[in-house]
Structure 1
Amino acid sequence: MQKQIDTQRLIIRRFNKEDWQDLHEYLSDEEVVFYEPYETFNEEASKEEAERRAEDDSFFAVCLKETGKVIGNLYLGKQDFETYELGYVFNKKYQKQGFAIESAERILDYAIEELKARRIIAMCNPKNEPSWKLLERLNMRREGHLIKNIYFKVDENNQPIWLDTYEYAILASERSNKND
């Protein structure tokens, strides 16, 4: 990835190990990670995660331009067939202010223009309305509703808690036409 990607209010860049405190601020919040495939992070886990993400080309820190504070992250993971998967998690203090759409729009452009992505997909829990509404604002198409296809947690009897998944996608050609 280039050194950083700028938007009007944000800087999108690779993580570094010093980001652990900002990362911890939102990954330790039960509301923020409720739909994620992991539990909340303690300080030590946040330090380890910041180091791991610093080595992972799929994770991007989303930072406020004015202060440099990490307010969330984007995930752009390479799949098969020139396809990338988009994901995002944002600190709840910075939700509902347009930061997710601003950064996601720019990372989609980056995926298409720089990585030559042909298709970008995203998955979310149907109960996570803010997430699927964001995907629809990105003009991504809901291509499927998978029924009880995945689980991240188990119940008190150690049985999987099965969840549904919405699948979304957009082709590079559709995104290019939108920008014309």
Structure 2
Amino acid sequence: MALYPEYPLISDRLRLRPFTRGDVDAVYTYRSRDDVARYLFDVALSREECALAVQQRIGQVALEKDGDKIILAVELLSTGSLIGEVSLTWHSADARQGEIGWIFNPDYQGEGYATEAARALLDLAFGPGDIHRVSARCDVRNGSSWRLMERLGMRREAHFREHAIFKGEWDQEFVYAILRREWLSR
């Protein structure tokens, strides 16, 4: 089953919407930061790299086949400020497996925005998306990310130790997941 959501997705304080070309400067404000890039596969991005990333995200708004992604800009309803992004990747249509992720501007951390945005995306995944299981992963040192996974009701399923070289050193990674029935019964 494919997923073609109607946008925007609205929560109490946030609007999740497809990216536009006009988002480059807002994305650059957080993707250019070393503290944001620390746990990402990317390094801090230049403005030109942000423009390319935004251009790629513009078309990532539906799930049709394995590997497809929905990547949405997260903006405050009160001001229209773009504060981050959330993603949903379809790993297996047959097994109905997905993965969620997020990147937020640290200037807006500690306000519950990432939790609210991730909940809206999980509602999409487990509602109209009919996904069976959604996972998330992060570097073990990224406490704010794995604590968010726990706030979402996800369970830690794996702790990979020294499983890959990440930015020149051995990586440790947590994997969390939640099943559709668990999400719907919360």
- TM-score of Structure 1 vs Structure 2, range by shorter chain: over 0.9
CA distance in 2 between partners of 1:151 and 1:22 (Å): 31
1:117 aligns with 2:125: no
Gaps of 5+ in 1: 155-160
Opposite residue 54 of structure 1, the aligned amino acid is I
Displacement after TM superposition at 1:62 (Å): 0.5
Aligned pair partner of 2:72 in 33, 49, 60: 60
- Give the TM-score of the pair, scaled to structure 2: 0.90
- 1:78-102, CA deviations, whole angstroms, 9 ceiling, x for partnerless residues? 0121011010010011111110011
The 3-state SS of whatever aligns with 1:49 is: helix
Q: Which amino acid aligns with 2:127?
A: E
8 Å contact from structure 1 (residues 38, 152) kept in 2: no
Contact 2:132/2:179 (8 A) holds in 1? yes
Superposed structure 1 runs of 4+ greater than 6 Å apart = none
TM-superposed deviation, 1:119: 0.4
1:88-133 Cα distance to aligned partner (Å, 9 max, x none): 0100111111100111111101111011110000001111111100
Aligned residue pairs total 172
In the other structure, the counterpart of 1:50 is 54
Aligned-residue offset at 1:13: 0.8
* Percent identity of equivalent pairs: 32
Counterparts in 2 of 1:151 and 1:2: CA distance versus 1, 3 Å:
farther
In the alignment, what sits opposite 2:64?
Answer: none
1:162 alignment partner in structure 2: 170
1:26 match? 30
User: So what's the TM-score if we normalise by structure 1?
Assistant: 0.92
1:21-78 Cα distance to aligned partner (Å, 9 max, x none): 1100000011112100010011111111111111123211101112222100001100
Structure 2 stretches lacking a partner, 5+ long: 62-69
